[in-house]
Structure 1
Amino acid sequence: MKLATFNINGIRSRLPALLAWLEREAPDVVCLQELKAPDAAFPAAEIDRAGYGAIWHGQASWNGVAILARDAQPVETRRGLPGDPDDTHSRYLEAAVDGLLIGCLYLPNGNPQPGPRFDYKLAWFERLIVYARKLLDSGHPVVLAGDYNVVPTDFDIYNPRSWLKDALLQPESRDCYARLLAQGWTDSLRKRYPDEQIFTFWDYFRQHWERNSGLRIDHLLLSPQVAATMRNAGVDRWVRGEPHASDHAPAWVELDLERLAGDAAEVATKASTNATRAGEVKKTALKKAAVKKAAVKKTAVKKTAVGKASTAKRPTASRKTGK
C-alpha cells in the first residue's frame, strides 16, 4: 500500500492538479487537508471517475479533510477529534481501509502567536495526544497522517532564523510533537531519511520553491505494528513545481500489508492455540475434580453401609424382670 498525505490548499481550484497526481502516482490511500469547501462542493463525481472512493468532512472557505481509497470505499470510524464538543472546525476524519485505521488530520496553524489562535493550536494538540494514546492502546494498526503545522526540529527547515516567531517552530508546538512520538509512533519520513533534509512545504514568497527553502510539516506517524511493515517513504516533489500548485507536496509511505496480515494471523493462531490449551487444562481439571468427587461420594456410601451393617449385628440387651 502506498499511503499519502497532501494539503491540497483548495480542492476545487486545484482539482486538475490532484487528478493528474492520482493518475501518475496511483496512491492507494490519500489523506487530504485544507479542502476549503463545504460538503456539497466536494468533487465526489470527479474523484469517483478517477477510481477512488471517498469520505470527506468539509467546511466553507477553510479547513476540511478527506480520505480517498483506490478501488475501494473508506469505512468512516470517526468524524472530528474528541475532547471538545464545542469545536466546529473540520480538522479530523478517520476511516478503516484494508485492515488499517487511518486518521487524517489538519492541525491548527496557530498564527499569530501568542494569542487565542496559538492557544487553540496547543489545546487541539493536547486532545490529539490523548486520543492517539487510546488508538495505540486499542491494539489496531494505525496511521496518523496529515498537516501537523509543526516543524519538529531545526533540521526540518531550510533556515529557522526568519521563522523564530512563527507558531510552527515554537517550543510548545515542538514539545507536543515530541510527546506524541514518545508514545511509540514512528515518523516515517525521518525514519527513512535520518540524516537528510527533506521538505514537504515551500511557501509562495521569495522564490522559496525555486531555492528549495522548505519546511517539513506534513507527517505520517505509524503505530509500532505498522512501522514494522514500512518499505519506503518519500515526497512527490514534482507536484509542487506544477502550474498553480499547492504550497505543499504529497508525502507518502509504502507498507507491506501482507506482512501485517501475516503478523495478525500469527497473533490469532497463538491466541487460538492458547485458548485450546486453556480449554484442555480446564477439561483435565474438571475431570480430576469429578473423579475426586465420585471417590469421596463412594467412600461416604461405603461408610454408611458399614455403619448400618454394624448396627444390625449388635445383640439386643435382655430386659431384667423383678420377682
Structure 2
Amino acid sequence: MQILVTGGAGFIGGHLAESFAGAGHDVTVLDNLDPYYDTGIKQHNIDASQQAANNSGGSYEFVEGSVTDQDTVTDLVDDTDAIYHQAAQAGVRTSVDNPRKPHDINVDGTLNVLDAARDSDIERVVLASSSSVYGKPEYLPYDEDHPTNPVSPYGVSKLAAEQYARVYAELYDLPTVSLRYFTVYGPRMRPNMAMTNFVSRCLNGKPPVIYGDGEQTRDFTYIDDIVRVNQQLLTDDSADGEIINVGSTDNIDIETLAEVVQDELAPELELEYDEARTGDAEHTHANVSKANALLGYEPTVDIREGVAQFIEWYQDNREWYEPLVLNS
C-alpha cells in the first residue's frame, strides 16, 4: 500500500513510518522539521525508516513541508491509499505561550488533510489525538463519554481536530479514526519529556526534578502498543468514524516515576521539586474498553517494564541522544 505519514519525522510518526516501511509498504513522510526540539533526533527517525525500507523491499520518501500548505498536502494525498495524520504542534506549555501556532497546525492543517482526503479514494485517515482533550477529570479512568474540557490551547486544538474528523466521516463518508494517545514514551521520544530528563539527570549524577508536588498522575503508553494498534487500522475498518482511547495497563504518579528511575540508576540521589507548570493536566488515566471491544486492543507493556526498556535503549544511544536531552 501507499501510505502517507504526516509528521513522520517525529517520535510517534517516525515509529509508524519505520514499521510500515519495514513491512514492505511504500511510505511517504511529510514533515516540516520544526525545531520545537533538536532536529537531530528527527534525522534518526528518517534514517531508521529509510533503513527499514531498504531491508524490506518497500520504499521511503521524505518530503520537507507542512500540513499548512494545502497544495503540498493535496499533491501527496492524490497518490495515497491511507493517511496517518501525526503532524501537530505538540507541547502544552508551548501552546500556552503561543496559542495560534497549535491552532494553525493542529486545526487548519488537519482540515487540509481531511479536505484532500475526501476528494480522493482514501481507504482510511487515522488521526493522532490526545488525552489532553479531557482536561479536569470528573471521574477516572477517562472513557470516551467523559466531558471534554481541555485546560490548554493544545488540548483545544486536538479536540477540534478530532471533531472535524468525526464530522467528515459522517457528512462525507470519509473513513476516519481518531486515537486519543495517553503520554506515549519509548526510544527516540521527545527529549523534553519528564522521563528523558529523569534518566539523563540520574546518569549524570544529578537529582531528578519534579515540577509540582509529584502527585499528578499519568497513563504512560509504550510506543510498541501505539504502533501495533495503528498497524491494525491499516486494514481493519471496525473503528471507522470512532474516537478511541489508546492507553496503558495502569497509571503512575510523577513522584513514583522519578523514584523508579532513581532506584534503577542512582538510588543515592534525593528528589528535587520545582514550581508546577501552567496548563499541565493533574491526572490522566485511560479506560481502553472501547478499543478492546472494537479492535481487541490490549496494552502489553507496564510502566516499570517500559522504563527498564527505555533506560537500556538510552544507555546504548546516549552519545547522540543525551545532548538533545540536556539542551531541551
Question: TM-score higher than 0.5 here?
Answer: no
Name which one, 1 or 2, has greater alpha-carbon Rg: 1
TM-score of the pair, normalised by structure 1? 0.39
TM-score of the pair, normalised by structure 2? 0.39
User: Relative contact order (C-alpha < 8 Å, sep 6+): which is higher?
Assistant: 2
